[in-house]
Amino acid sequence: MTTVARSPSATPADHHAVLHRRFGWQVPERFNIADACCGRWARGPDAGERVALIVDGAPAGTGRYTYAQLQQRAEALSALLASAGVQRGDRVAIVLPQGLETAVAYLAILRLGAVAMPLSVLFGPDALEYRLQDSEAVAMICGDGAVGTVLALRGRCPALRHVLGVGAAALSADVDANPAMAGQALAPVPAAADTAARDPAVLIYTSGTTGAPKGALIPHQALIGNLPGFVCSQNWFGFDPLHPEAGTQAVFWSPADWAWTGGLMDALLPTLYFGRPIVASAARFDPEEAFRLMARHGVTHTFLFPTALKAMMKAAPDPRARHRLRLQAIMSAGESVGDAVFAWCRDRLGLIVNEMFGQTEINYIVGNCAMNGATDGVLDGASASVGWPARPGSMGRPYPGHRVAVIDDAGRECAPGEVGEVAVHRFDVHGDPDPVFFLSYWRREEATRAKYTGNWCRTGDLARRDADGYLWYQGRADDMFKAAGYRIGPGEIEHCLLHHPAVGNAAVVPKPDAARGAVVKAFVVLSPDARAEREAAPDAAAWERALVLALQDQVRGRLAPYEYPKEIEFIDQLPMTTTGKVQRRVLRQLEEERAQISRV
């Protein structure tokens, strides 16, 4: 295969505007994710050799499944679901870790025209019950870890007619799904549903960072809307920009749970869409094992949360000296990776992290495509230039096909440097409909309407746009607060605190104050080196007081006097969602409770 010759440049070229101008959506009227991600590859001449899934930890000689094998299993499971009465539009819950069965479950449900509803294996009984009741799911596919909980609560979920068990769960579930998962169709295989691109495909409940989770109903065409961002953030995913028909040899892995948007829409489905293998691992994330896994399977592209990258940096300061890696791209999302991790990836892995921003409702809309600094290439004397430089700490720029802006409360675009809410327009720069949008919040019409201002869909996230179009995160809109009459955005303060070597993570919230309404308070997690230094200090309290003064001076000097945290509390860890986002509302509620107690 002819490849594009590329080498990093001291001043990488910027092709963002050209990519936007040349990009155009091609969304068919009829489209089904299951067919696009598996069916069409299974009909190809190499279906029996083209690997779709690699199960890490499987016995020698097993664990590699082709697209033909994946399709056979999906058809068998769809037959089982149909025989149980599952119909088009029905919600079917999936509670399984990364693995063959999870991929088969998604494909089988979508093949029927039903709606897949992923649920994390980490959910307890209350979280499961809420989602099952709210969605009125008619069936559930689960493993041994969840079946006991589900059977105990199903009496309070009247719509749930069937529980399909995988593995040992089949012994107590209503229906044994193991034969179907092995490709044995015990009922007639139904014809694949002829779905419209806008038909519902997935119901994903938001992570609840701003209150009770809401079910976001995602159409089949949303996968198409994700693809430009996926390709850009994965440095073209191994494709030759001039000759994409030549294919790619990419191998993908991410520890992101396939029950969340990050694991499903940023990893599993895009990889299968391009006919490439994805590595599945149900093991708990371990930074050392992450390197070994990637080396073992020749992983070329990955999505790693900032927390994972930080752990990997600590575990292996010089990873290339210990592991034979083939990595070509790293995408990261959820929080900023920070300067230290960005520099480590660049200097020790030879990779420039492409940070990305999106959310369940409108995913993969902003980010970077740094091409590891080689945004200029030449193929047979012709230009093959793609990508744009990454700026450490920024969210990036809008991916091709998405018209993204920072808007004010009235829906007007903010000037560069002004803080506003990140929003995505229903139509791209050419006036064509953008397929990335969710359909609605499940049975929450008012909440759906509130998401929009005209044709702008609000993300609830604040940012400022610089003169070159890069977005800089400023926190959640509902995280904003006033202190001493000033409007405070926590993101900028947190970013400033993270520049101090003693700070591993930080969250800023308002602390109620009788005189000023609220003061700025920071919760700080110390870096490993700082924790060791505190433990070795003869007076830990004095050491902390000195650090508080240093951090306050840093914020006061770099930002504004009214933004520095009047109080800093050191804690072992910040409250996080299962997708790796800081839950500032938990800390905010803690401060409000403390204030109430102090007034009594």
Q: Which residue type does 262 have?
A: G
Q: What is the pLDDT of residue 484?
A: 67
Distances (CA, A) of 76 to 18, 70, 86, 168, 192: 46, 10, 14, 19, 12
Instruction: Return the CATH number at 511.
Output: 3.30.300.30
Q: Which residue type does 142 have?
A: C
SS3 268: helix
Same domain for 441 and 300?
yes
Q: What is the pLDDT of residue 393?
A: 87
DSSP annotation of 159: T
Which of 478, 507, 522 delimits the end of a domain? 478
The answer, yes or no, to whether residue 330 has pLDDT greater than 80, is: yes
SS3 19: helix
Is 530 contained in some domain?
Answer: yes
* Confidence band, pLDDT 50/70/90 cuts, at residue 382: very low
Tell me which of 354-363, 387-396, 437-446, 486-495 is least confident.
Answer: 486-495
Same domain for 371 and 495?
no
Name which of 282, 223, 292 is nearest 255 in CA terms: 282
What value does the mean pLDDT take over residues 216-225?
Answer: 98
pLDDT (tens digit per residue) in 178-189? 999 999 998 999
Tell me which of 54-58, 380-384, 514-518 is least confident.
Answer: 380-384
Same domain for 289 and 400?
yes
Range of 581's domain? 480-599
Instruction: Return the CATH number at 95.
Output: 3.40.50.12780
Task: Locate 454 and state its tokens.
Answer: 């005209």
Q: What is the pLDDT of residue 384?
A: 53
What value does the mean pLDDT take over residues 474-491?
Answer: 75
Is 275 contained in some domain?
Answer: no
Which residues are CB-neighbours of 539 under 8 A, at least 6 positions away?
none
The answer, yes or no, to whether residue 207 has pLDDT greater than 90, is: no
The answer, yes or no, to whether residue 514 has pLDDT greater than 80, is: no
- Helix 67-83 vs helix 100-112: crossing angle, to nearest 10: 60
Is 270 contained in some domain?
Answer: no
Distance, in Å, from the CA atom of 289 to the CA atom of 562, rounded to the nearest integer, reads: 45
Stretch (H or E) spanning 544? helix 540-558
Q: What is the pLDDT of residue 345?
A: 97
Task: Locate 320 and state its tokens.
Answer: 């290339």
Q: How many residues does this entry show for the chain?
A: 600
Same domain for 52 and 194?
yes
Name which of 195, 188, 185, 187 is nearest 72 in CA terms: 185
Same domain for 474 and 484?
no
Pairing of strands 329-333, 440-441: unpaired
Same domain for 319 and 356?
yes
Which of 478, 512, 527 delimits the end of a domain? 478
pLDDT (tens digit per residue) in 39-63? 999 999 999 999 999 999 988 888 9
Distance, in Å, from the CA atom of 473 to the CA atom of 459, rounded to the nearest integer, reads: 12
Same domain for 343 and 472?
yes
pLDDT (tens digit per residue) in 76-126? 999 999 999 999 999 999 999 999 999 999 999 999 999 999 999 988 888
Same domain for 160 and 242?
no
Is 252 contained in some domain?
Answer: yes
Q: What is the pLDDT of residue 575?
A: 92
Is 20 contained in some domain?
Answer: no
Residue 440 · residue 217 · CB < 8 Å:
yes
* Confidence band, pLDDT 50/70/90 cuts, at residue 10: low
Residue 451 · residue 407 · CB < 8 Å:
no
Q: What is the pLDDT of residue 417?
A: 93
**Mean pLDDT score across all residues of the chain:** 91
* Confidence band, pLDDT 50/70/90 cuts, at residue 379: very low
* Confidence band, pLDDT 50/70/90 cuts, at residue 380: very low
Same domain for 316 and 286?
yes
Number of folded domains that form the chain = 3
pLDDT (tens digit per residue) in 555-594? 888 777 778 999 999 999 999 877 677 888 899 989 989 9
Pairing of strands 5-6, 51-55: unpaired
* Confidence band, pLDDT 50/70/90 cuts, at residue 487: low
Same domain for 467 and 529?
no
Taking the CA atoms of residue 185, residue 187, residue 191 and residue 195 in that order, the dihedral angle to the nearest 10 degrees is -90
Name which of 57, 92, 65, 283 is nearest 182 in CA terms: 65
The answer, yes or no, to whether residue 254 has pLDDT greater than 50, is: yes
Q: What is the pLDDT of residue 477?
A: 79
Same domain for 129 and 107?
yes
What value does the mean pLDDT take over residues 416-430?
Answer: 95
Q: Which residue has the higher pLDDT, 307 or 521?
A: 521
Tell me which of 129-143, 146-160, 208-222, 400-414 is least confident.
Answer: 208-222
Is 536 contained in some domain?
Answer: yes
Q: What is the pLDDT of residue 208?
A: 53
The answer, yes or no, to whether residue 297 has pLDDT greater than 70, is: yes
The answer, yes or no, to whether residue 515 has pLDDT greater than 90, is: no
Long-range contacts (CB closer than 8 Å, 24 or more residues apart) made by 150-159 = 150/95, 152/125, 153/125, 153/128, 153/129, 156/129, 157/129, 157/132, 157/133, 159/132, 159/133
Distances (CA, A) of 91 to 124, 167, 439: 20, 22, 15
Q: What is the pLDDT of residue 583?
A: 87
Q: Which residue has the higher pLDDT, 200 or 514?
A: 200
Q: What is the pLDDT of residue 197?
A: 98
Same domain for 181 and 156?
yes
* Confidence band, pLDDT 50/70/90 cuts, at residue 211: low
Q: What is the pLDDT of residue 596?
A: 87
* Confidence band, pLDDT 50/70/90 cuts, at residue 212: low
Which residues are CB-neighbours of 415 under 8 A, at least 6 positions away?
none
- Residue by residue, DSSP assigns 56-123 as TTPPTT--EEEHHHHHHHHHHHHHHHHHTT--TT-EEEEE--SSHHHHHHHHHHHHHT-EEEE--TT-
Which residues are CB-neighbours of 445 under 8 A, at least 6 positions away?
none
- Rounded to the nearest angstrom, the gap between the alpha carbon of residue 19 and the centroid of all alpha carbons in its chain is 23
Q: Which residues pair with 5 in a beta bridge?
A: 378
- Provide, rounded to the nearest whole percent, the portion of the chain with pLDDT above 70: 95
Is 6 contained in some domain?
Answer: no
* Confidence band, pLDDT 50/70/90 cuts, at residue 390: very high
Which of 447, 478, 509 delimits the end of a domain? 478
Is 426 contained in some domain?
Answer: yes
